[in-house]
Amino acid sequence: MHLKRHIVLLLGFVSICQPCFSARRSEMVEQDAVKQAKTLISRVDKELDASLEELFAMTQILSKIESAPTFKELVSYTTANWESIVDNWGGIAVDENTRLIQLHALLFLPPEDYLNCLKRVLKLYEQGDVDRHEMFMLLFSAENEKRWFLSSNYNDPMVMELFDELSRVFSKDQQITETIKFYKSGKAKKRMNLFATRNRRGIMPWSLCLCCIQRWRMKGGQTASKGR
């Protein structure tokens, strides 16, 4: 009888404490992710050995970042841990160089993660944790294939929902509101198609389209393409 009572009490203790243990474990995992991301970003910064602010064009900046030997490792790590990295935005990147490096690594996320990342960063902007320049760059100034993500998926319900949120948040920002209108009208996609016809390799691989990902998964695919 006493043994049964002890077992019941023990099970009750475990059931009460398990959420606390899980939360603590999750917190430790996130702290490790933040620490590793900070280490990789710092390593990339040292490999660049240059002030990115001194470079005139965004294409020059991003090309310079990609030339760092550790950048591929950072992209891989960011892809696996982007939520922890975004949630600790100000604690990882500490100056202009490291913030640009952090931003550029996010541009290599798989399509669906990239879309969710944009929504998450938008909330951080509303809280004052991300500035306008960073938000604009993540949305519209990408110089890899993500440059075409919003235009190629402009009529996807999830992207349309993001456009509506952006219109609300930036209602007094004429540059961003006009840019959003340009995308929502489909004109950005027409421009993209024009560039594609001039590019022998083709500028929009199937992996950029959310609808293509969904069709592929229905045929048995398991993970989204990286959108490289």
For residue range 167-202, list pLDDT tens digits in order.
999 999 999 999 999 999 998 888 878 776 766 554
Whole-prediction pTM = 0.72
- The reply to whether 117 and 96 lie within a common domain is no
Q: How many domains does the chain have?
A: 2
Q: pLDDT category, 146, cuts 50, 70, 90?
A: low
Q: pLDDT category, 165, cuts 50, 70, 90?
A: very high
- The reply to whether 118 and 223 lie within a common domain is yes
User: Does 5 reside within a domain?
Assistant: no
Helix (H) or strand (E) holding 131: none
Domain that holds residue 67: 34-106
Euclidean distance between CA atoms 47 and 68, whole angstroms: 6
Give the pLDDT confidence of 205-221 residue by residue, as tens digits.
434 555 544 444 454 44
User: Does 23 reside within a domain?
Assistant: no
DSSP secondary-structure letter at 148? G
- The reply to whether 222 and 114 lie within a common domain is yes
User: Does 15 reside within a domain?
Assistant: no
- The reply to whether 129 and 198 lie within a common domain is yes
User: Does 8 reside within a domain?
Assistant: no
**For residues 137-157, b (16+ Cβ closer than 10 Å) or e, as one string?**
bbbbbbbebbbbbbbbbbebe
User: Does 7 reside within a domain?
Assistant: no
- The reply to whether 115 and 226 lie within a common domain is yes
User: Does 42 reside within a domain?
Assistant: yes
